[in-house]
Amino acid sequence: MQVLIVDDNASMRTLLTALLGSQGYEVVGALEDGSAVMEAVRRHRPRIVCLDYQLPGRNGLAILKDINNEFPDIDVLFMTASEEGNIEQLAADAGASGFLRKPFGQKQVLDELLQVTETRKQAERANKATAAPAVAGLSTARWGRRKAIIVDDNSSIRVLLKGVLSELGLNIVAQAANGEEAIRAAKTHQPDVLFLDVNMPILSGLEALPKIREASPETAVVMVTGDTSRQLVQQAAGLGARGYIVKPVRPAYVETFLKKLFAN
Amino acid sequence: MTLMIDFPFASAGPWVDHFKEVELPVLRHTVHQLEELRSEAETINVHKLAAIITHDPLMTLRVYRYMEEKRSKSQNAEITTVERALVMMGTYNFYDSIRDLPVIETQLKGHPKAMLGLLKVIARSCHAAAWARDWALLRQNTAFDEIAMAALLHDFVEILMWCFAPALAVRAREQLAASPHARSDVVQEQVFGAPLEAIMLELSQHWGLPSLLLSLLNPGDAESGNVRNVKLAVDLARHTANGWNDAALPDDYREIEALLHISHSNFLERIGAPEEQIVAARAAEAAGDPLAS
């Protein structure tokens, strides 16, 4: 699996290159400057980019957004030593597939990369098999192909979430990229569950939530967010959300959540 | 900020290559103390500044590394002490070189066991430095500051391991605790892939530590009185860290007392041993007990 490393710390680049090389990853480049990253991504088309936040030339968050827009199938493992309180949330909302706060160890990188690649594999497997009437036997039987809608302005997250949810046996009947589209889709499809991003253009998740509940009262609305602050959780619950899934999306977490949701 | 090492390198060389690249973090306490005096950067007493720096082995190493990096070709005499280094570089330049210092406590935020282990080694190193200095003065050795610095820095690779390979450092400590009779260099080889002394010697040379310090840290010169002064202080600090009844202490005492030519009770007083041990030693000496010293 091809990996591009971007970090302005020389020691980090050297160690990551050696570590990933020893674990069977193919390191296609190790850059220290943010301004050359998109060109390298276009040239090498890596499957994963290990991307530092604070870089000379261009900051990692802006690069992450560009990668997601241009190459939604490339996973970005976001790495930072920043103390900014909301950086994890910003990276998750921008589509980071994994997040590591520095300092971190070699085992942590390998574990996070494993999670990222497993999630991607699962999503790709399910997305390839969308033509099949049922994807996952046990889950499908248990949840009876319940109808679901995914709402997120980030196409990369939609693709990933669709794969994960399909694999778990949900029937994805529609996708939307903002709150307004979400309300229309909810009214049309009356889904069992709707996964709703919080930060979106035009109409945010929290603004759309009461209107979705009004348009489809039986739908369980689940927030999908990188922000798990008490304030947001309470606000969403007060508006009728049935729970939340934390970004980056992890299949095991989603499955456990859905089991609880449908058990009720 | 670099990657924490969980998997040992195969030998001393890659460790040295790795440590060459890292930026050395310092204790938060050191940063605070230095920052409190920043406004007086141009007028501050270098003795006062050196005292702050030499309570933190990694800050001390940073000063030596800085001096080596800035060393001019025309500079013949080596700068062997922190105080002289500060005079040479100027306190203003020193302060200019320590903006945004990386902090050990931040680096080890997720590793409380390693933080504790690190603080113990630093405390041990400071004890060793104080004892080594005291004994050098007693021996009327004019290189007492250098001898103290050598004792302070003797275990700096162990400190680096706690900072940059905390999981491995914890494993090494647990292995040694589980097998108290195991040789530390054997455990180090198993856990880190190399004995720490080998890494220390190579790294000290690479960083251009003064040749006097290098010779004081060199186990090849073990028979020299000054090297023994350093080594015995380091050993005593390591053994007393286990308590004043550690089984290795009687041998340490014998060797140090022979080096210093002082009585057992006098020696125990100098190192701050528990009062009852000093009283017992005095009583034994008064009774002419041949085992008293």
Interface check B2 vs A, CB under 8 A: yes
Q: Cα distance from A154 to chain B (closest Cα, Å)?
A: 30
Query: Chain A contacts of B110, Cβ < 8 Å?
Result: 103
Asked if A109 and A139 sit in the same domain, the reply is no
Q: CB distance B3–A107 less than 8 Å?
A: no
Asked if A138 and A19 sit in the same domain, the reply is no
Query: Chain A contacts of B3, Cβ < 8 Å?
Result: 11-12, 15-16, 19, 103-106, 109
d(CA B284, CA B278): 10
More confident residue, B93 or A140: B93
What ranges do the domains of chain B cover? 1-126+141-210
The arithmetic mean of pLDDT across residues B242-259, rounded, is 94
Q: CB distance A103–B4 less than 8 Å?
A: yes
Query: Chain A contacts of B6, Cβ < 8 Å?
Result: 105-107
User: How many helical (H) and strand (E) elements, i.e. helices and strands, does chain A have?
Assistant: 11, 10
Q: CB distance B3–A10 less than 8 Å?
A: no
Note the pLDDT tens digit of each residue in B147-176.
999 999 999 999 999 999 999 999 999 999
Note the pLDDT tens digit of each residue in B65-81.
998 888 777 777 788 99
Q: CB distance A9–B18 less than 8 Å?
A: no
d(CA A16, CA A30): 9
Per-residue pLDDT, A134: 47
Q: CB distance B2–A9 less than 8 Å?
A: yes
Average pLDDT, chain A: 90
- Which CATH number does the domain housing residue A111 bear? 3.40.50.2300
Asked if A148 and A184 sit in the same domain, the reply is yes
The last residue of one of the domains, among A101, A124, A147, is A124
Is residue B291 very low, low, confident or very high in pLDDT (cuts 50, 70, 90)? low
Nearest Cα to Cα of residue A225 among A216, A217, A215, A235: A235
Is residue A141 very low, low, confident or very high in pLDDT (cuts 50, 70, 90)? low
Q: Cα distance from A81 to chain B (closest Cα, Å)?
A: 7
Asked if A11 and A92 sit in the same domain, the reply is yes
Q: CB distance A106–B7 less than 8 Å?
A: yes
Is residue A193 scored above 90 in pLDDT? yes
Asked if A134 and A224 sit in the same domain, the reply is yes
Query: Chain A contacts of B109, Cβ < 8 Å?
Result: 103
Per-residue pLDDT, A138: 45
Query: Chain B contacts of A16, Cβ < 8 Å?
Result: 3
Is residue A263 very low, low, confident or very high in pLDDT (cuts 50, 70, 90)? confident
Interface check B107 vs A, CB under 8 A: yes
What is the three-class DSSP state of A146?
Answer: coil
Note the pLDDT tens digit of each residue in A157-168.
998 899 899 888
Option in A16, A102, A107 nearest B1 (CB): A102
ipTM, 2 decimals? Answer: 0.82
Give chain A's domain count: 2
Per-residue pLDDT, B162: 98
Option in B6, B18, B22 nearest A105 (CB): B6
Enclosing domain of residue A142: 130-263
The last residue of one of the domains, among A124, A146, A163, is A124
More confident residue, B180 or A239: A239
Q: Cα distance from B7 to chain A (closest Cα, Å)?
A: 7
Q: CB distance A15–B2 less than 8 Å?
A: yes
Note the pLDDT tens digit of each residue in A69-115.
899 889 999 999 988 878 988 999 889 999 999 999 999 999 999 99
Asked if A87 and A20 sit in the same domain, the reply is yes
Average pLDDT, chain B: 92
User: A107: nearest CA in chain B?
Assistant: B6
Query: Chain A contacts of B167, Cβ < 8 Å?
Result: 105, 107
Asked if A178 and A229 sit in the same domain, the reply is yes
Assign a CATH topology to domain B1-126+141-210: Hypothetical protein af1432 (1.10.3210)
The string of DSSP codes covering chain B is --PBP-S--SSHHHHHHHHHHSPPPB-HHHHHHHHHTGGGTTT--HHHHHHHHTTSHHHHHHHHHHHHHT--TT--S---SHHHHHHHH-HHHHHHHTTT--BHHHHTTT-HHHHHHHHHHHHHHHHHHHHHHHHHHHTT-TTHHHHHHHHHHTTHHHHHHHHH-HHHHHHHHHHHHH-TTS-HHHHHHHHHSS-HHHHHHHHHHHTT--HHHHHHH-GGGTTSHHHHHHHHHHHHHHHHTT-TT-TTHHHHHHHHHHHHT--HHHHHHHHT--HHHHHHHHHHHHTT-TT--
| pLDDT over 90 percentage in chain A | 66
- Those of residues 151-180 in B touching chain A at CB distance below 8 A are 166-167
The last residue of one of the domains, among A124, A145, A172, is A124
What is the three-class DSSP state of A204?
Answer: coil
The arithmetic mean of pLDDT across residues B132-143, rounded, is 95
Note the pLDDT tens digit of each residue in B42-98.
888 899 999 999 999 999 999 999 988 887 777 777 889 999 999 998 999 999 999
Is residue A258 scored above 70 in pLDDT? yes
Q: CB distance B5–A104 less than 8 Å?
A: no
Q: Cα distance from B106 to chain A (closest Cα, Å)?
A: 8
The A-side interface with B (CB below 8 A) comprises 9-12, 14-16, 19, 81, 102-107, 109
Is residue B282 scored above 80 in pLDDT? yes
The two structure tokens encoding residue B75 = 């500079």
Query: Quick one: angle between helices A205-215 and A179-189, nearest 10?
Result: 20
Per-residue pLDDT, A143: 66
For residue A199, the surrounding DSSP H or E stretch is none
Is residue A136 very low, low, confident or very high in pLDDT (cuts 50, 70, 90)? very low
Is residue A8 very low, low, confident or very high in pLDDT (cuts 50, 70, 90)? very high
Interface check B4 vs A, CB under 8 A: yes
Q: CB distance B5–A105 less than 8 Å?
A: yes
Q: Cα distance from B22 to chain A (closest Cα, Å)?
A: 6
Q: Cα distance from B25 to chain A (closest Cα, Å)?
A: 12
Option in B18, B21, B167 nearest A105 (CB): B167
Is residue B293 scored above 70 in pLDDT? no
Asked if A16 and A135 sit in the same domain, the reply is no
Per-residue pLDDT, B133: 97
Query: Chain A contacts of B7, Cβ < 8 Å?
Result: 19, 106
Asked if A139 and A117 sit in the same domain, the reply is no
Asked if A85 and A139 sit in the same domain, the reply is no
